[in-house]
């Protein structure tokens, strides 16, 4: 059974799929505005989105702008976790990451997903 206030959004695509990538940040923003305890976890190609400036010109076909959504999440201190081995494989270091993003192991994904509503994109 899930805790109705916890939401985990996982994303595995990056700039290679701007619609899906932007949609994950949009859903996180919607959940945060609803008062949910939101966490994002970026893995595989999505770790590129955590790099400073990576989402500057990314938007969905709906017109949602990824960078604006990221700014909202940062302003509300929504944690954006970045898969450590995925980042390491792509030579992304902690100092390369946007504000509110940090490296995290898969164990943290499992711990935070326990009793949460999980949305995977």
Query: Which DSSP string corresponds to 88-115?
Result: HHTT--GGGBPTTEEEE-HHHHHHHHTT
DSSP 8-state secondary structure symbol assigned to residue 50: G
Each residue's pLDDT tens digit, 42-76: 999 999 999 999 999 899 999 999 999 999 999 99
Q: Is residue 25 part of a domain?
A: yes
Distance CA 115, CA 6 (A): 7
Integer Cα distance of 8 and 28 in angstroms = 8
Residue 1: predicted pLDDT = 47
User: Considering only CA atoms, which of 61, 43, 46 is closest in space to residue 15?
Assistant: 46
CATH number at residue 49: 3.40.1260.10
pLDDT reported for residue 4: 76
Please report whether residue 21 resides in a domain: yes
Residue 1 domain-assigned (yes or no): no
User: pTM for this structure?
Assistant: 0.94
Give the chain's residues under pLDDT 70. Answer: 1-3
Domain total of the chain: 1
């Amino acid at each position: 059974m899930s805790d109705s206030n916890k939401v985990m959004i996982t994303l595995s695509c990056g700039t290679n799929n701007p619609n899906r990538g932007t949609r994950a940040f949009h859903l996180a923003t919607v959940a945060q505005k609803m008062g949910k305890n939101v966490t994002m976890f970026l893995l595989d190609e999505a770790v590129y989105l955590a790099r400073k400036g990576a989402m500057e010109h990314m938007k969905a076909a709906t017109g949602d702008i990824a960078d604006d959504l990221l700014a909202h999440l940062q302003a509300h201190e929504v944690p954006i976790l970045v898969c450590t081995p995925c980042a390491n494989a792509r030579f992304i270091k902690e100092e390369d990451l946007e504000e509110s993003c940090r490296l995290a192991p898969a164990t943290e994904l499992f711990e935070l997903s326990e009793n949460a509503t999980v949305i995977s994109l």
